[in-house]
């Protein structure tokens, strides 16, 4: 429609509508630049936001699983250190019993019994006093370490389990010549040095096997940490592709919408001047 009209200023309406669109786009661009995110609300990309939130949840649970695994490694390291000390104590006990088994050392049996009693008492003390974050390490209960995420909640695959058996002299089947237990424990060799030495040697083997089993679990947890860290890196990259803003593109858009907004304001000024031309017809 052409001609002069003062009732409906169509060019002004068009310029106003386009100016509103330009202002809205400018605000979105400024929001993305200030937040660094392409998706700030569901309306920006509903499907992408759902995927990105799912990835974010998976990343967070994996990060916690890494901490869980590291806690498990720390638990095993404390247990292994204690078992290493017990192994040293048992080796010393084997040395003493080997000495006592010789007939030339009968006069020193009393001193050997005293030291053996102290060694056995220390083994019992280590078994009951060794703890990790308030949890008794040698309690004989199963320790479960969760290393899964929101996509892997199956107990069989999302947990690493291990058991640290109870640690004590009686638990290591050392009984010959051992009288009582705890602080009142004493030792009576009385010609049983050879059989006592055999028990101690078996106990050394038992401790070695337990350390080997714990070491295998520790290696598995360390490998799990490496795998989960790689997963976190890849999932973070995938989330970034969806959620993060392309800063170069947004800077270009900022310039574009700033210019368009200024042009819209100028167009509205020109459109509003057109009806004023009608006044010249009345002169």
Phi/psi at 170 (5° precision): -70, -35
40 or 115, which is more confident? 115
The mean-pLDDT minimum among 42-56, 62-76, 97-111, 183-197 falls in 97-111
The mean-pLDDT minimum among 8-17, 167-176, 250-259 falls in 8-17
Give the pLDDT mean for 20-32.
86
Q: How confident is the model at residue 155 (pLDDT cuts 50, 70, 90)?
A: confident
The per-residue pLDDT for range 196-252, each reduced to its tens digit, is: 999 999 999 999 999 999 999 999 999 999 999 999 999 999 999 998 888 898 899
CB 116 within 8 A of CB 122: no
What integer pLDDT is reported at residue 182 of this predicted model? 79
In our burial notation (b when 16+ CB lie closer than 10 A, e otherwise), range 142-157 reads: ebebbbbbeeeeeeee
CB 54 within 8 A of CB 181: no
Q: Report the alpha-carbon distance of residue 173 to residue 167 in Å, rounded.
A: 11
What integer pLDDT is reported at residue 4 of this predicted model? 61
CB 64 within 8 A of CB 237: no
Is the pLDDT assigned to residue 75 strictly greater than 80? yes
Q: How confident is the model at residue 109 (pLDDT cuts 50, 70, 90)?
A: confident
29 or 233, which is more confident? 233
CB 265 within 8 A of CB 30: no
Give the pLDDT mean for 151-156.
78
- Do you know the residue count of the chain? 283
Instruction: Walk me through the domains of the chain, giving residue ranges and CATH numbers.
Output: 69-219 (1.20.1330.10)
Q: Report the alpha-carbon distance of residue 25 to residue 31 in Å, rounded.
A: 10
Is the pLDDT assigned to residue 46 strictly greater than 80? yes
Which token pair is 267? 């167009």
């Amino acid at each position: 429609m052409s001609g002069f009209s003062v009732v409906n200023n169509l060019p002004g309406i068009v310029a106003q509508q386009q100016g509103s669109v330009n202002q809205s786009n400018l605000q979105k661009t400024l929001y993305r630049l200030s937040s660094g995110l392409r998706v700030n609300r569901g309306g920006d990309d509903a499907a992408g936001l759902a995927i990105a939130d799912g990835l974010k949840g998976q990343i967070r649970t994996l990060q916690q699983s890494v901490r869980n695994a590291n806690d498990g490694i720390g638990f095993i390291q404390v247990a292994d250190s204690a078992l290493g000390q017990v192994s040293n104590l048992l080796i010393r006990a084997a040395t003493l019993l080997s000495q006592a088994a010789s007939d030339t050392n009968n006069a020193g049996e009393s001193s050997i019994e005293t030291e053996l009693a102290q060694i056995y008492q220390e083994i019992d003390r280590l078994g009951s006093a060794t703890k990790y974050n308030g949890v008794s390490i040698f309690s004989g209960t199963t320790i479960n370490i969760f290393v899964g995420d929101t996509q892997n909640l199956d107990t069989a695959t999302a947990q690493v389990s291990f058991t640290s058996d109870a640690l004590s002299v009686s638990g290591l089947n050392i009984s010959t010549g051992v009288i009582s237990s705890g602080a009142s424990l004493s030792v009576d060799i009385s010609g049983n040095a050879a059989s006592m030495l055999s028990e101690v040697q078996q106990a050394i083997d038992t401790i070695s096997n337990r350390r080997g089993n714990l070491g295998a679990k520790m290696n598995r947890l360390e490998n799990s940490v490496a795998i989960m860290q790689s997963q976190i890196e890849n999932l973070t990259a995938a989330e970034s592709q969806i959620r993060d803003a392309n800063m170069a593109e947004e800077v270009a858009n900022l310039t574009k919408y700033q210019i368009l907004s200024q042009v819209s304001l100028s167009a509205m000024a020109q459109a509003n001047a057109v009806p004023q031309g009608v006044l010249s017809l009345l002169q």
